[in-house]
Amino acid sequence: MGVKGFVEGGIASIIAGCSTHPLDLIKVRMQLQGEPTTTATNLRPALAFHPSSGTHTISLPTSAPAPPRVGPVGVGVRIIQQEGVAALFSGVSATVLRQTLYSTTRMGLYDILKRKWADPNTGSLPLGRKIAAGLVAGGIGAAVGNPADVAMVRMQADGRLPISQRRNYKSVLDAIQRMCKDEGIVSLWRGSSLTVNRAMLVTASQLASYDQIKESILDRGVMKDGLGTHVTASFAAGFVAAVVSNPVDVIKTRVMNMKVGNGETAPYNGALDCALKTVRSEGPMALYKGFIPTISRQGPFTVVLFVTLEQVRKILKDF
C-alpha cells in the first residue's frame, strides 16, 4: 500500500508538472524582474592611463537599465518573440526529474503518514495532523529533489540573460554535471533551506487543505465524490498554497539563480540577506512578484494533480 502511494503520486505529479511548465517558467522570469542581469565580473572598475597628462582615470561600471516590468501575458509574449515557442518549455527535463524526486517522495510519504496517524476507530485525521504530515513529507521531498530544482530554475531563467552570460545547459543532467564541475557538489543544494521551507508550506497547505475541503464538501452533501468535488477542492487548495508559499518562492528563485565565479562576491549571503535586499530595493510587495502566474500555475497544477491522482487511484485500486 505504501509503495502504491508513491507510484500514484509520482504519475500525477509528472503529468501536472509538464502540463503547467510554461506557467512556471513565466513565474520564474517575473520573480527575477528587478534584478540586475550583470554579473560581478563586469562590475569591476576599469583603470586607464593617459600618457599626455600622466594621469590615471577610473571608470565605474554602469548596469544596463532594467527592462520595464510587464505582466504574465507580456512576459509570455516576449519569450515567444525573442526565444521562440519552444522556449516556453525550457527546463522541462528538470521539471520531470524534480517531480520524480520531490513530488513522488512528498506524495508517498504524506499518504503513509496520513494512514499511520489516522484515528484507528474512525479512520479520520484531524486537520492539525494533516498539516504535520504535509510539513514532514514536504521537507523530506524537497531535500531529495533540490538538485533538480536548482537546475530547473537556472534553465528557466537562462533566456533572460545576455547571450554571453547564458549557461546554455543542454539538459538537466548536463546542468547537474556542470554545476558539480564548476561550482562543486554543494551547489546542488544551494537554497536548500528555502526549498525545504517552501516545500513544507506548499505540501502542508496544498495536501492538507485539499483533503479538508474535500471532506467538508462530502460531509455536508454539497456535492458527491466526483470530478466537480475534486476540481473545487483542488483549486481552493492551489490558491491557499500560492498565498502561503509565494514570498519564499521569490527568495528561493533569486538565491538559486545567482551566478558566482571563483573569487567573486555572491550577490546574496543567504536567504535572509536576499529577503532584506529585495525588500529594501524593491519594496515588500516584491515578495509577491509573480503571484498572478503563481496562482495561474498553482491552480491548474493542483487541479491536474489531484484530478489525475483520483483517476490513477481508481485504475490501480485492484493492484
The band of 42, judged by pLDDT with boundaries at 50, 70 and 90, is: very low
Residue 60 located in a structural domain:
no
Please tell me the distance from the alpha carbon of residue 74 to that of residue 165, in angstroms, as a whole number.
23
Question: Is residue 279 in a domain?
Answer: yes
Specify whether the CB–CB gap between 317 and 20 falls below 8 A.
Answer: no
27 pLDDT above the threshold of 80: yes
**Within-domain flag for 280:** yes
Residue in this structure with the C-alpha cell 514532514, named with its chain if needed: 136
Give residue-wise pLDDT tens across range 117-147: 998 888 889 999 999 999 999 999 999 999 9
% of the chain beyond a pLDDT of 70:
88
For residues 287-297, give the mean pLDDT.
84
Q: What is the pLDDT of residue 58?
A: 52
122 is in which domain, residue-wise? 2-35+68-315
| pLDDT value at 13 more than 90 | yes
Q: How many CB atoms lie within 10 A of CB 318?
A: 5
Is residue 57 domain-resident?
A: no
* The pLDDT of residue 28: 85
Average pLDDT over residues 15-42: 77
121 CA to centre of own chain: 39
pLDDT class of 43 with cuts at 50, 70, 90: very low
CA–CA distance, 228 with 70 (Å, rounded to integer): 34
How many separate domains does the chain show? 1
Predicted confidence at residue 40, as pLDDT, reads 42
Supply the pLDDT for residue 279. 93
Has residue 275 been placed in a domain?
yes
Q: Which residue has the higher pLDDT, 100 or 153?
A: 100
pLDDT in tens, 221-275: 999 999 999 999 999 999 999 988 899 889 988 888 887 776 778 888 888 899 9
In percent, the amount of the chain with pLDDT more than 90 equals 53
What is the average pLDDT across 103-118? 94
pLDDT given at position 50: 53
Closest CA to 149 of 105, 101, 90, 206: 101
The answer to whether 40 and 265 have CB atoms below 8 angstroms apart is: yes
Q: How far apart are CA 85 and CA 82, in angstroms?
A: 9
pLDDT for residue 130 = 95
Residue 16 resides in a domain: yes
For residue 38, pLDDT over 70 is answered with: no
Q: Which residue has the higher pLDDT, 31 or 14?
A: 14
The secondary element (H helix, E strand) that includes residue 173 is helix 172-183
Say whether pLDDT at 162 is over 60: yes
Task: Examine residue 120 and state whether it is found in any structural domain, yes or no.
Answer: yes
Domain annotation covers residue 54? no
Q: What is the pLDDT of residue 120?
A: 86
- What CATH number does residue 186 fall under? 1.50.40.10
